[in-house]
Every structure is written in structure tokens, then in C-alpha cells.
């Protein structure tokens, strides 16, 4: 490369590291995870980067880049920083349009020519600690990213140590250490500048600004590989939020959403329903936990029929504590409770916030019947159910704290519908995915549904195979969870099953 930064043998990038970005993404990694970028993606400073023809979501990510000095192999986190000789600025550019092509590995969406600008100056680390660095990014002169290395989830020394367990980090290798919040989309004509400095170190050394101008590409991708693909969720995630996307649309910088904001697509597609068919709530909750979602349980509720399952999008109803004047104003007529049951749509789950009070009824036979007639997928209340035996005769699944004979007006005032509620200790927003079985009920954020469903379905299949081996007499040590040997057997069994299925299909 130019500017005294040699072409590295390896460029290793961290997926998530800054707490500001982790909060934005909604998942908390326990350990760092990585992907590789090819040396051909490097770009000389002050250059241009092409947004390929037929794509729309090229995103910048200002980052602190570590350049390895003394080779590192099997070093400790305390030793890791001493193996970093220099620090420079980087822009980890990527195409959301191609994220699905190589999910996780990022080969195509992050590996394009010019997608790793680096420089312009590399700062020697001697006398400067790993927590002393700052990264800032400007787009068209506006500061959009500003964070410091002392906030990192995984400090620089830990990254070096972790990677050195698996490979020798050679002199000149580069580690891109993650981007803070503020990453967004850039369009042809935009100018991105990234600067890394150590503002409190002697002399306040700086890399200077790494300048990249976005230009429109002319070559479209051919039909012999994965084609660019964009949907509304990708647009919102790439721009940072629905509000930022809307601002970009108003400025003529972004493509409008395909579905109006007040008419969102139902994420519960037939494909995802099929994936989740027979999958246990416990399995899905484990997948959510891995992403940092631990308070998603609607605690204390049980189904009114043994074996009931529930899956649908949330429609919410909120009760507030009883007060005579408020009940007089809001408890009669076509109140919020009646409105909720009279307007629930097919496939929706009515979620009732009753503040966890079991000693009063929140649903009765007439309202439960009304929900069933309208095609509701179920009812969940962290309160009690009146006319319990009658409600039990209906087909609609109802999850509650149990029976109570009281009528409305003893402990509650029906207050509002279609708002964020707290049911059984879980936050529930309209449109969230509600899933329940005999183990309980959980809340799934819609943007996580597809990846969680896919992971849970795969885990359920693996768990079923493990159960088969245990039934045949295999010990659980090494099998649950599977070690490398058992994993290899499982993959071989899956491959054999798929081959047999294909052969049967061909012969039919």
C-alpha cells in the first residue's frame, strides 16, 4: 500500500465490539467473532469506491485498525497489546444488498475491490495504552461517529490473544476492531472521512483523515452468482433506523419502503410457520438468549388446554389499577377491553397487561368467543379468567394465571389498546411475535424472527437426534452438547438422510 503501510497477509475484522453498536443491533455477543477481508479489498487513501450497479445499500464503518508488529501465537490478553506495533484508520465498507449471499463470512458483501480503505498514517503505539484511542467519521463534513477504545466489549489485547489461539498473527497483519453506532448508507457523490487519534497522549498523534469518495459503478452482477437483494428490514437496518431512512427518502437519498409504515408486512410467513411447527418454546428462548434477550418470558401463565400451542402477532390491551372516578369514565360502554376483542384480526394474539394480579377476571366467555370468531390465534393475560369452564370449551388457546369469578371493576380499569405493555414481566409491543406451549409464553422481536426460527429449527432437529442416541444407550458426556466426534456423526447421519430422501423422490 501507499503511505508506508505494507499490504498485510491477513485482514481480520470483528463483527461487534462497541457497546453503542451492540445496543443498536440488539444482540450481545459473549465472545468476539470475526470474518476475513481479502487484500484486494484494500484501497489507497484519498481514493474512490464504487457502489456496484444495481445495488443501493453501501454502508461505511469507521474503525480503528491494529497493525501487528512482533508475531503473536498463544499470547495472553495481558500480552496481546504489546504485539500491536501501529494503529491506523480504516473504513470497513459493505453492501447490505449481498449480506444474504455469504451470511456471517461476508465474502461478497465486504470483500469488494476498494472496500477496505486504510491509512493515511500509521501511528506507533509505543507509550500509548490500548484504551487511549478515538475513532471519528464524517460524511459530507458532518460528524456521524465518535467513540473511544476504552468502551470496547473486547479490548484490543483480548482480540490479539483470542486470534493467536487459532493462527499466527504475522508482522503487518491487520485487525479491524469493530465500528461504533452511527454507521449508515452512503450514495454516489458522498465523501466519507475517518480519523483515528490518541487525543490525550503526548503530542495527540493522529492518522489524519482517511478520505473515500463514493462513485456509481457501471458493471452489473451477472446471473451466474447471487444477485443483490434488498427488503424493507435491510433498508431500515442499513440506514440505522426507520426515522433515519425516512429522512434519507425525503432528501432523495434512499429508496422508499415497499410497504407503508402503517401497514407492515407480517413477518410470520408460511415458511417461518413451517420452520417453527413442532419447535419447543424452550429451544427458541435459548436462541434469543444467545442474542442478549433474557427478559422475554411472560411469566406465570399456563394454557387452558393441555397441549395448546400459540403463535401469532401481538395485539395489546392495558389495564390500570382501579379507581372509582376513572372506572366511571372509562369502564362502561364500548371500553378498551371490548374494543380490543372486537377488533382483533385473524392471526393476532391478544396480550393483556393485568399487572400480574390473578385475583380478578380479565377475560370471560363472551369476549373469548368473540376473539375466536374473529380468527385470533390466542389470548395471553397475566391475570385471571372468568367463566373458566366455558372458555375451556372453546378451541381458542388461552394462557392465564387461572380461574377467578370476579367481574370487571374489582381491581382494574380498561385503559388503552395497541400500546407497549408489560405482561408477566415482559415488554410486549404491537406486532411482536408471541409463541407459547406448555413450558410458557415468550416474546420474539420481529426483526429477529427469521434468524431465530432457522436456528431453533436446526437445534430442534439436532436435539431429536441426540435423544435418539440417548434412547439407544449412549451416555450424555460429549453428546449433550455434542463434541466434535458426535457432531461429525450427526452431520453424516443428516447427509445420509438427505441422500435417501432425494433418492426416494427421484424414484417416485
pLDDT the model gives residue 262: 40
Return the C-alpha cell found at 121: 498514517
pLDDT the model gives residue 185: 96
CATH H superfamily, domain 294-444? Ribonuclease E inhibitor RraA/RraA-like (3.50.30.40)
The reply to whether 364 sits in an annotated binding site is yes
Q: How confident is the model at residue 1 (pLDDT cuts 50, 70, 90)?
A: very low
Per-residue pLDDT at 155 exceeds 70: yes
pLDDT the model gives residue 260: 42
Which secondary-structure segment (H or E) carries 191?
strand 191-197
The reply to whether 466 sits in an annotated binding site is no
Residue 327: name the closest of 360, 351, 370 by CA: 360
Per-residue pLDDT at 499 exceeds 80: no
pLDDT the model gives residue 24: 72
Residue 153: name the closest of 178, 181, 128 by CA: 178
CATH H superfamily, domain 11-230? Fumarylacetoacetase-like, C-terminal domain (3.90.850.10)
Q: Which residue has better confidence, 491 or 94?
A: 94
Tens of pLDDT, residue by residue over 400-441, are 999 999 887 788 999 999 999 999 999 999 999 999 999 999
- What is the DSSP secondary-structure string of 90-149? EE--EEGGGGGGGTTT-HHHH-STT-EEEEEEEEE-TT--TT--EEEEEETTEEEEEEEG
The reply to whether 187 sits in an annotated binding site is no
Q: Residues 280, 460: contact at Cβ < 8 Å?
A: yes
- CA 103, CA 98: separation in Å to the nearest integer? 9
- CA 253, CA 246: separation in Å to the nearest integer? 10
Per-residue pLDDT at 350 exceeds 60: yes
Average pLDDT over the chain, rounded to whole?
90
The reply to whether 367 sits in an annotated binding site is yes
pLDDT the model gives residue 419: 92
Same topology, domains 11-230 and 294-444? Answer is no
The reply to whether 87 sits in an annotated binding site is no
Per-residue pLDDT at 2 exceeds 60: no
The reply to whether 449 sits in an annotated binding site is no
pLDDT the model gives residue 212: 95
Residue 459: name the closest of 299, 280, 313 by CA: 280
- pTM here is 0.56
Q: Which residue has better confidence, 485 or 179?
A: 179
Per-residue pLDDT at 494 exceeds 70: yes
In order of 19, 271, 305, the CA distances from 160 in angstroms are 19, 41, 54
Residue 115: name the closest of 92, 84, 138, 139 by CA: 92
pLDDT the model gives residue 243: 78
In order of 28, 302, 354, 397, 420, the CA distances from 401 in angstroms are 32, 6, 10, 13, 21
Return the C-alpha cell found at 75: 499470547
- CA 337, CA 34: separation in Å to the nearest integer? 49
Compute the 3-state secondary structure of the chain and give helix, strand, coil in percent, each to the nearest 5. 30, 30, 40
Q: Which residue has better confidence, 101 or 444?
A: 444
Domain boundaries, the chain: 11-230, 294-444, 463-507
pLDDT the model gives residue 265: 62
In order of 135, 258, 287, the CA distances from 28 in angstroms are 22, 30, 12
SS (H, E, C) 376-430: CCEEEECCEECCHHHHHHCCCCEEECCECCCCCCCCEEEEEECCCEEECCEEECC
Return the C-alpha cell found at 7: 499490504
Tens of pLDDT, residue by residue over 245-272, are 888 888 889 988 775 444 456 789 889 9
Amino acid at each position: 500500500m501507499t503511505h508506508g503501510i505494507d499490504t498485510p497477509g491477513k485482514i481480520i475484522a470483528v463483527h461487534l465490539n462497541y457497546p453503542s453498536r451492540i445496543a443498536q443491533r440488539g444482540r450481545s455477543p459473549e465472545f468476539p467473532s470475526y470474518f476475513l477481508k481479502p487484500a484486494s479489498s484494500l484501497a489507497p487513501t484519498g481514493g474512490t469506491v464504487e457502489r456496484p450497479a444495481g445495488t443501493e445499500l453501501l454502508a461505511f464503518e469507521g474503525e480503528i485498525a491494529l497493525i501487528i508488529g512482533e508475531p503473536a501465537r498463544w499470547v495472553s490478553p495481558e500480552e496481546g497489546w504489546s504485539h500491536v506495533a501501529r494503529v491506523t484508520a480504516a473504513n470497513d465498507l459493505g453492501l447490505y444488498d449481498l449480506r444474504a449471499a455469504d451470511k456471517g463470512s461476508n465474502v461478497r458483501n465486504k470483500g469488494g475491490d476498494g472496500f477496505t480503505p486504510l491509512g493515511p498514517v500509521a501511528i506507533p503505539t509505543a507509550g500509548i495504552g490500548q484504551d487511549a484511542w478515538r475513532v471519528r467519521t464524517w460524511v459530507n463534513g458532518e460528524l456521524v461517529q465518535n467513540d473511544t477504545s476504552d468502551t470496547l466489549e473486547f479490548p484490543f489485547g483480548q482480540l490479539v490473544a483470542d486470534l493467536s489461539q487459532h493462527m499466527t498473527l504475522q508482522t503487518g497483519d491487520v485487525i479491524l476492531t469493530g465500528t461504533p453506532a452511527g454507521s449508515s448508507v452512503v450514495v454516489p457523490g458522498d465523501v466519507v472521512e475517518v480519523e483515528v487519534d490518541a487525543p490525550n497522549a503526548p503530542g495527540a498523534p493522529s492518522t489524519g483523515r482517511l478520505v473515500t469518495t463514493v462513485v456509481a459503478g457501471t458493471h452489473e452482477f451477472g446471473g451466474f452468482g447471487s444477485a443483490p437483494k434488498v427488503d424493507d428490514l435491510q433498508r431500515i437496518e442499513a440506514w440505522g433506523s426507520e426515522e433515519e431512512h425516512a429522512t434519507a427518502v425525503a432528501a432523495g437519498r434512499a429508496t422508499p419502503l415497499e410497504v407503508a409504515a402503517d401497514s407492515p408486512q407480517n413477518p410470520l410467513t408460511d415458511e417461518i410457520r413451517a420452520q417453527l411447527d413442532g419447535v419447543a418454546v424452550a429451544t427458541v428462548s435459548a436462541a434469543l438468549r444467545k442474542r442478549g434477550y433474557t427478559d422475554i418470558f411472560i411469566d406465570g401463565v399456563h394454557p387452558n388446554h393441555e397441549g395448546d400451542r400459540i403463535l401469532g402477532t401481538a395485539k395489546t390491551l392495558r389495564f390500570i389499577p382501579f379507581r372509582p372516578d376513572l372506572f366511571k369514565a372509562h369502564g362502561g360502554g364500548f371500553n378498551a377491553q371490548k374494543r380490543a376483542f372486537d377488533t382483533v384480526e385473524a392471526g393476532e394474539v391478544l396480550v393483556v397487561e393485568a399487572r400480574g394480579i390473578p385475583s380478578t377476571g380479565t377475560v370471560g366467555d363472551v369476549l373469548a368467543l368473540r376473539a375466536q370468531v374473529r380468527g385470533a390465534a390466542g389470548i395471553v393475560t397475566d391475570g385471571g379468567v372468568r367463566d373458566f369452564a366455558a372458555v375451556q370449551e372453546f378451541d381458542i388457546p388461552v394462557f392465564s394465571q387461572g380461574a377467578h369469578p370476579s367481574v370487571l371493576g374489582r381491581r382494574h380499569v380498561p385503559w388503552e389498546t395497541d400500546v407497549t405493555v408489560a405482561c408477566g414481566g415482559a415488554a410486549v409491543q404491537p406486532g411482536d411475535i408471541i409463541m407459547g406451549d406448555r413450558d410458557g409464553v415468550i416474546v420474539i422481536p420481529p426483526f429477529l424472527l427469521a434468524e431465530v426460527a432457522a436456528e431453533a429449527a436446526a437445534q430442534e432437529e439436532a436435539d431429536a437426534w441426540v435423544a435418539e442416541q440417548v434412547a439407544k444407550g449412549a451416555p450424555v458426556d460429549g453428546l449433550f452438547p455434542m463434541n466434535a466426534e458426535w457432531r461429525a456423526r450427526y452431520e453424516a447421519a443428516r447427509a445420509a438422510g438427505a441422500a435417501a430422501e432425494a433418492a426416494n423422490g427421484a424414484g417416485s
